[in-house]
Amino acid sequence: MRKPVIWSLCVSLFVSLALANETSLHLVRANKLEEYSISIDSKTNLEKMTPSIGKSSMITRFEVPNHSDVHVKFNDPFLSFSTNGRSYRKDRRVYISSMYTVKVIHTAGVAADQITQQSLLESVAKGRKTNGQTLKDVRGTIRLCQSYPQPILTLINLSLTGNIKGFVSKQYNSNVTYSGPPEGSPYTTRNYYAALYYDTYSLLVKRNDTYDEFLGNVYQGRTTDISESIKINDVLKPINIEYYHDIKY
């Protein structure tokens, strides 16, 4: 019985094209989209996630767009062995390749309680302004809590991040001006942070297997079968975020 290569996850994914003799991949992406979609998250309560005395701003999200125009083409050695290299006098089929495609990308919600990699960008006194002094990079990768074959892992990463490793990254530099709390504020200092939190996704993945049909040795044509549909739940997509917190020292 075929044993596909499985990675046990609940940690960040780093997808390799070396598939331990299981499959070979051909990756297809149709369009190049913008780097970030910037929006404001006005619903998440930062005080509950980062409890401290003070007042927090709303969260600014820097999200890498999803890609529904990708598929992963691969060779299944089990199907290749079971249909190729045999002599038949009657009808037969010869395996060509398989493909995974994403049919649905659905956002199930924001797992905002899982803020990670919080990094202080600047600390600014009341009534003051300053430019960013250091170059910082905050990155994260797709997280799963189930195991899937390698081609599906690659498809998930491509669909949600646009790259096969499933990572997102934002760099913060010195071209930004940061302002402290305004005069009259009860707070003396404004701390600016970069971090990550996660959107929860559900995906519907379909697998197609392609064969050449023969009647004896006479070629009849090429056919494609939909062999399975797979519902993938609880996929955590990292989102770069930025916010500030006013405090009184």
E-only strand ranges, the chain: 6-7, 25-29, 37-41, 55-56, 59-63, 70-74, 91-125, 129-131, 136-141, 148-149, 167-172, 177-179, 189-215, 218-247
Query: Do residues 150 and 17 make contact, with C-beta atoms less than 8 angstroms apart?
Result: no
Query: Do residues 127 and 179 make contact, with C-beta atoms less than 8 angstroms apart?
Result: no
Give the type of residue at 207.
R
pLDDT tens by residue, 46-92? 766 655 678 888 889 999 999 888 899 999 988 887 766 555 567 78
Residue 25 has pLDDT above 60, yes or no: no
**Predicted TM-score (pTM) of this structure:** 0.77
pLDDT tens by residue, 167-196? 999 988 767 899 999 999 999 999 999 999
